[in-house]
Chain A
Amino acid sequence: MDRFVWSNGLLEMNETLVIQQRGVRLYDGEEKAKLDAGVVLLSTHRLIWRDIKNHECCIAVPLSQIVFFEEQAAGIGKSAKIVVHLHPALPNKDPGPYQHSKFSYIKLSFKEHGQIEFYRRLTEEMTQRRWENTPASQPIPTATGSQTGRTRAVGIVGIERKLEEKRKETDKNISEVRDLGQGAKEMVELSRSIANKIKEKQGDITEDETIRFKSYLLSMGIANPVTRETHGSGTHYHMQLAKQLADMLLAPLQERGGMMALTEVYCLMNRARGMELLSPEDLVNACKMFESLKLPLRLRVFDSGVMVVQLQSHNEEEMIASALDNVSEKGSLTSEEFAKLLGLSVLLAKERLLLAEKMGHLCRDDSVEGLRFYPNLF
């Protein structure tokens, strides 16, 4: 921590802010520094830390002082960290929070997360080394290799060994991922051949076999090219899911005036499950089966592209007639006002008004103050 200098936190002329992250605590080597709650900022030239309560307490270290940095995974009760190894401080360095330090590295502890992005950007900046091309107006002292000599060599060897180990492990991981990919690739090609044959009606594929094929595609995550004729990607899984949805959504739908946006349904269902969540596509494919399974729900797509689940008993004309009543009673309504009146989401309130307008019952006044609907007296 003795490499840091006091700073006013203002960026220099050619210096740009790259990313910042709050909730960061500093460590001098393994020891927690008193600087425990702050924002860390990465610029093209420096690493800056500012105390969140006392904005005047602000320190910085030039990026050129960084030898190497690595991630330290989070543990139980411990936040993820980035360990930054630094060159020794220059003798003519400006004053900073620490006079001496027995450590040649510091740690940034990300108590409120954000370490992944920060690490990524730091890597970018350290690769691009933009501070070398655009020196800031006030020269920031850069460490030159000549001074460090022997002390540097000792520290570096250990670091380089670590880097090498990491590289080997990453390479092993990548090759295992590739091997896995190879097996999957063969199946993708096979599935394409099968799909073509089904399309051209070669051979005699039963409906059972088709459903089985579709379930294989689903398991592998291969896009299904043969879907159109039968009900979406209708596998047994989706049929079960459709029935489950019909059970779980009846009450919520009735509470919300018979209609819910698909994104709402997605959140509701997944929050209820906690694990083994539904993918967006699972939800859409299951909803497409409502009609063929004779369930009392329907999937509907509005002109705007908004997708909703609605009760089959949803009486459109009744809804529109009552919307007209509401608007007439108040003289005019915006989507927000209508939403508040009925306890609907603004999105669905707007769709209902648009529908009433389409049917000729309402007309609009579209000004910069908002979209307002009036009873259509024409």
Chain B
Amino acid sequence: MHRRGVGAGAIAKKKLAEAKYKERGTVLAEDQIIQMSKQLETFKTHLEEFASKHKQEIRKNSQFRVQFQEMCATIGVDPLASGKGFWSEMLGVGDFYYELGVQIIEVCLALKHRNGGLITLDELHQRVLKGRGKFAQDVSQDDLVRAIKKLKAMGNGFGMIPVGGSYLVQSVPAELNMDHTVVLQLAEKKGYVTVGEIKESLKWERERAGHVLEHLLKEGLAWLDTQAYGDPQYWLPALFSELSARDITPDEASQMVP
């Protein structure tokens, strides 16, 4: 191990520092690093043992995955931080979520022209499942949520908005503040909202409601239906249920002109 400062003065200084620390009973950082490397080896062995017993189970059992992730969160380790981490290399959890991340990005990209970059977690789940095909491992919505949380590291505005007991997944950097979120939540029940409904439910003035709706229109998150009876309706394609909308495959979508 190389130490900085090989001159006699530096050595003396070092000896003094060591003596001081030993006096106070504090351990030097360098010694702790050695200690950590030893602990790491031990831990690696334990993890290998654990992996040999449970690796398959983690891939197959989503409930087990949840428990495992919660344990990690409690201790303060992120098993998905790096593909080079022990967790990833030995347990294989990494690849599962990173691949899911790729599939999520691709689905969101394919549908962006239609919903402006906003999609319900339900729909995202269904489409990812479809894209994975029959022989792939099933994934839960919890798995999707964890994969999305990791995607945030790459900028690009991946986010989740709580709406109607579930979430809307945002995949574009459109700025959505509290006002926008609240209107989205209001629109969740019917898939659309009107200025009148906003005024009545939220007690906002017409101007404030107008601003929010205009922003959603500009970002491509809402479409305007002026032919509706009564107040013009602002529809959110992200909230269209799969039943009422024509089912477009990601392939078809990518061929469509934005």
Question: Which A residues lie at the B interface, using CB under 8 A?
Answer: 73-74, 79-80, 110-117, 120, 173-174, 176-181, 183-188, 190-191, 193-194, 197-198, 202-206, 208-209, 212-213, 216, 218-223, 237, 261-263, 266-267, 270-271, 275-284, 301, 304-307, 336, 339-340, 346-347, 366-368, 370-371
Contact of B60 among A73, A305, A371 (CB under 8 A): A73
CB–CB A197/B82 < 8 A: no
* A189 to B204 Cα, complex, angstroms: 50
Q: Besides the contacts A79-B134, A191-B36, A282-B84, what 18 more A-B pairs have beta carbons closer than 8 Å? A: A111-B134, A113-B139, A114-B126, A114-B138, A117-B141, A120-B140, A173-B67, A181-B72, A204-B14, A209-B30, A218-B85, A222-B78, A262-B154, A266-B105, A336-B258, A346-B112, A366-B218, A368-B218
* A178 to B76 Cα, complex, angstroms: 13
B246 interfacial contact with A, CB 8 Å: no
Closest chain B CB from A72 CB (angstroms): 12
User: Hey, which chain A residues are within 8 Å of B1, CB to CB?
Assistant: 206, 208-209
User: Hey, which chain B residues are within 8 Å of A271, CB to CB?
Assistant: 102
CB–CB B71/A177 < 8 A: yes
CB–CB B173/A186 < 8 A: no
B249 interfacial contact with A, CB 8 Å: no
B155 interfacial contact with A, CB 8 Å: yes
User: Hey, which chain B residues are within 8 Å of A279, CB to CB?
Assistant: 80-83, 88, 94, 98, 150
CB–CB A113/B156 < 8 A: no
User: Hey, which chain B residues are within 8 Å of A347, CB to CB?
Assistant: 156, 172
* A202 to B156 Cα, complex, angstroms: 40
* A137 to B124 Cα, complex, angstroms: 34
Closest chain B CB from A196 CB (angstroms): 9
Contact of B29 among A174, A205, A307 (CB under 8 A): A205
Number of interface residues of B (CB under 8 A): 85
User: Hey, which chain A residues are within 8 Å of B50, CB to CB?
Assistant: 176-177, 180
Contacts A221-B80, A275-B95 given; indicate if A204 touches B102 (C-beta within 8 A): no
User: Hey, which chain B residues are within 8 Å of A219, CB to CB?
Assistant: 40, 84-86
**What are 22 residue pairs bridging A and B, where the CB atoms are less than 8 Å apart in the complex?**
A74-B138, A112-B130, A113-B138, A177-B68, A194-B36, A202-B29, A204-B14, A205-B33, A218-B81, A221-B81, A261-B156, A262-B155, A263-B105, A263-B154, A263-B156, A267-B102, A279-B88, A280-B154, A282-B82, A282-B84, A283-B154, A339-B258
In the complex, identify which listed stretch (B2-10, B177-185, B195-203) lies at the interface while the others stay far away: B2-10
- Cβ < 8 Å to A, chain B residues 94-124: 94-95, 98-99, 101-102, 105-106, 112
**CB nearest to A179 among chain B residues:** B46
CB–CB B156/A262 < 8 A: yes
Contacts A116-B138, A183-B42, A307-B156 given; indicate if A198 touches B29 (C-beta within 8 A): yes
CB–CB B33/A270 < 8 A: no
Closest chain A CB from B31 CB (angstroms): 8
User: Hey, which chain A residues are within 8 Å of B151, CB to CB?
Assistant: 263, 280
* A28 to B108 Cα, complex, angstroms: 39
Interface string of B123-167 (1 = CB under 8 A from A): 001100110101010111100000000111111110000000000
**CB nearest to A76 among chain B residues:** B135
**CB nearest to B74 among chain A residues:** A181
CB–CB A188/B140 < 8 A: no
CB–CB B54/A277 < 8 A: no
CB–CB B156/A305 < 8 A: yes
Contacts A183-B43, A221-B85, A281-B150 given; indicate if A115 touches B138 (C-beta within 8 A): yes
CB–CB B40/A220 < 8 A: yes
CB–CB A222/B105 < 8 A: no
Closest chain A CB from B143 CB (angstroms): 8
B212 interfacial contact with A, CB 8 Å: no
CB–CB B82/A218 < 8 A: yes
* A281 to B72 Cα, complex, angstroms: 17
User: Hey, which chain B residues are within 8 Å of A280, CB to CB?
Assistant: 98, 101, 150-154
Contacts A180-B50, A305-B157 given; indicate if A266 touches B32 (C-beta within 8 A): no
CB–CB B71/A181 < 8 A: yes
CB–CB A277/B157 < 8 A: no
CB–CB B155/A221 < 8 A: no
**CB nearest to A371 among chain B residues:** B218
**CB nearest to B45 among chain A residues:** A183
Interface string of B1-45 (1 = CB under 8 A from A): 111110000000010010001000010111011011101101100
CB–CB B82/A180 < 8 A: no
B57 interfacial contact with A, CB 8 Å: yes
CB–CB A282/B83 < 8 A: yes
User: Hey, which chain B residues are within 8 Å of A80, CB to CB?
Assistant: 138
B192 interfacial contact with A, CB 8 Å: no
CB–CB A204/B40 < 8 A: no
Contact of B71 among A115, A178, A198 (CB under 8 A): A178
B75 interfacial contact with A, CB 8 Å: yes
CB–CB A221/B72 < 8 A: yes
